[in-house]
Structure 1
């Protein structure tokens, strides 16, 4: 190797990654203006998406750690060279794609799911939504017509049945995971994403509802999937413990049995009926999917406290995935076992075997902890059923009583 090249190579290794050069800086400035114009265009064609997009800062970068685009919930970072090679329609789609990752709370909803499979599911959800709204989807984006109107959780469950994922996501989902350096790389100081926080995710839900109200006042109803999503977020949240406790109390009240007058009150001239001790036959059913595991300890602890007010409890705990994986019977003296409950099974998808198993011995009440993305009977059970849904879950059927577990 010539001495000059050897010295340059040594200098690069000692100096580390370089910053964008003058030509790359000019490209950044040009694409910054182009993408800001794309955002302005979206205000006329897609006002709802564009108003959400206005709440994110656009940041053009030249950085080998970000080959495409990504968001941290506060900014959209995009590789200027990547965007320069995209069509006008593709650029607008990509900007909308990033803001809908924020609006749909995809970072918050991942939980314990497989990262790559979840990222694919999120892109399928967003791309189906935007194909309906924009009438366009980039050729290299993940898109299947059958996923239209489905949530990332539903899509993830279907992708879990596949041995191998196909295609690549359009963008980078975890910006905190890209910070590796090599001596020959370009690192842009403008590429400085922040960690995604729970507060930021909650703020995006509020922005989504507030923006929807603004657009509805100006233009009327929201379209399709967006309208259904906003309707769900607007539903008032009642503390689930309060709802569950009231339901159990109502069930107990309906099952009280009154006996002949109590002798304790006869001498006072009061003929009051005596009451049997409060007893309850309850089945708690647990969906063993990863999305339920974060809620399980709090749910079981609260349930134990509620049931502690009953004199007699016959509690059966049933876990399921595609079949029943565990059954255990507890009485009122064993409720402390709920505090440290551990699940068996590998991911819920079909609760119908549980209902079949209870055909000959139906409970007074069934409580199901689930994300709702399961197969369930179309016909209502002959006993009360409460669907305790995870924060982003949905009722699997129209019958029963659904309540949402909120933090």
Structure 2
């Protein structure tokens, strides 16, 4: 097929996007498109342009071409090349493709998915970083399990009528993410690209009822990245310490007007924190260590503090409670937690606290995936730190919620 014929096809595809998926149209009309020879896939991108191999396109129908174009645009709008960082490029590319194909499975008027594309519905409702972790662990498990292939693994790579394939089987010809070379992209070009992406994401966000599969990825991109230490410190100061009026610290907003009004000064209080630590299998030992490290570092910013860690699953594990304070800091031996394969009962934490001298002005921080319900009444100010995105809004009516993404 001649180059001009492909130009006509792409023009029709862009018109389709304009009427059916305007957020994709923003990118399709704004990004550079080059016709060239690609090393692997028919469509490839480095995050700010698209390279199209016309020879490889001959293997696809016009409907499949429409799908692959949309697939590549989603790589760009979701900044997949830039989010790779130091991750394994092969597994990262695979994770990105799975996320996008899961998203596109709910789109209408988006062409036809080629039969060699990966779909794994078990990985729906996860952002690409979470899918990468799943695939990375599968890869490690496969490498440790020997090089023989049994009948079951052979079945997993056989496509059914929908073209579904097991996620960890991946053809290198599908590698469509190129290496990002930031030094070749000027700050002006990056700002322009960010503006285009924000515009596209905003359009998609307004049509959330049509693009529900995109919501997790959009939220991952457009929310500001806040360091958990900074967020915790801000929360501790604003929630636990009342501001006192004092003339020794005048209000600077009115000084220029000749008015000497009192300013605010944080009271010097004792920081007393309880941490309910979900010790079921959903919270890893690595998360436990990093979280306690962050809490210990945050506490160091206060003159005097006391922290009590309550591991729990279906009950509070009293024999494994960890305590540290400003005079006896956290030790390496404290980085131990017995893991559980059982369920989670947060009500047991609340019942335990009601038998202690916990006060309403104390803070309870809960590190968990949020896979539980609460029937007991709360005992003090509570901060839920959730490591599962789907549960982030679950406890907003009874406490503050933060995402745990260390």
> TM-score under structure 1 normalisation?
0.59
Alignment-derived partner of residue 314 in structure 1: 307
Indicate which of 67, 90, 103 corresponds to 1:129: 103
Q: CA deviation at 1:51?
A: 1.3
Tell me by how many angstroms 1:97 deviates.
0.8
| Contact 1:129 1:225 (C-alpha < 8 Å) held by counterparts | yes
Cα deviation, 1:348-375, whole Å, max 9, x if unaligned, reads 99896695995775485444678xxx46
Distance change (3 Å), C-alpha of 1:379 and 1:122: farther
Look up the match of 2:150: none
Which structure 2 residues correspond to residues 91-170 of structure 1 after superposition, within 5 A? 91-110=65-84, 115-133=89-107, 134=110, 136-156=112-132, 159=135, 160=137, 165-168=168-171
* Worse-matched range after superposition: 116-125 or 133-142: 116-125
How many Å separate the matches in 2 of 1:38 and 1:135?
Answer: 9
Give 1:7-406 correspondences, 5 Å limit: 31=6, 34-35=9-10, 37-63=12-38, 65-110=39-84, 115-133=89-107, 134=110, 136-156=112-132, 159=135, 160=137, 165-168=168-171, 171-176=174-179, 194-195=181-182, 207-213=196-202, 223-226=211-214, 230=218, 243-249=231-237, 252=240, 278-283=270-275, 288=284, 300=293, 304-316=297-309, 329-335=323-329, 361-362=352-353, 364-367=362-365, 374=369, 376-379=371-374, 382=378, 384-388=381-385, 395-396=391-392, 398-399=394-395, 400-403=399-402
| 1:34 to 1:52, Cα distance in 2 relative to 1, 3 A | same
String of CA shifts for 1:254-282, please: whole Å, max 9, x gaps: 9xxxxxxxxxxxxxxxxxxxx99624133
Structure 1 residues 122 and 158: alpha-carbon distance in aligned structure 2, compared to 1, 3 A threshold: same
Offset of residue 62 of structure 1: 2.1
d(CA) in 1 for partners of 2:221, 2:340: 25
Q: CA deviation at 1:86?
A: 1.0
Deviation at 1:288, TM superposition (A): 4.5
Q: Give me the CA root mean square deviation.
A: 5.3
Unaligned runs of 5+ in 1: 1-25, 177-192, 255-274
Equivalent residues of 1:315, 1:329 under 8 A apart: yes
User: How far apart, CA to CA, are the structure 2 residues paired with 1:206 and 1:369?
Assistant: 36
Q: Is the 8 A contact 2:45 2:178 kept in 1?
A: yes
Q: CA deviation at 1:38?
A: 3.1
- Local SS of the residue matching 2:113: coil
The separation in 1 between residues aligned to 2:77 and 2:96, in whole angstroms, is 12
Distance in structure 2 (CA, Å) of the matches to 1:171 and 1:154: 20
Conserved? CA contact 2:47–2:79, under 8 Å: no
Change (3 A) 1:402 1:108: farther
CA distance in 2, matches of 1:99, 1:66: 17
Question: CA–CA distance in 1 between the matches of 2:21 and 2:340?
Answer: 36
* Structure 1 residues 220 and 69: alpha-carbon distance in aligned structure 2, compared to 1, 3 A threshold: closer
Structure of larger gyration radius: 1
Q: Structure 1 residues 349-358 or 65-74, which shifts more?
A: 349-358
The structure, 1 or 2, with the larger RCO (C-alpha pairs under 8 Å, 6+ apart) is 1
Which residues of structure 2 form unaligned runs of 5+?
A: 143-167, 243-266
CA distance in 2, matches of 1:349, 1:61: 54
**Alignment correspondent of 1:14:** none
Deviation per CA, 1:54-80: give whole Å up to 9, x if none: 3321122124x3343321111111222
Measure, in 1, the Cα distance between the counterparts of 2:21 and 2:129: 26
How far apart in 1 are the matches of 2:346 and 2:295?
24
Contact 2:370 2:391 in 1 (8 A): no
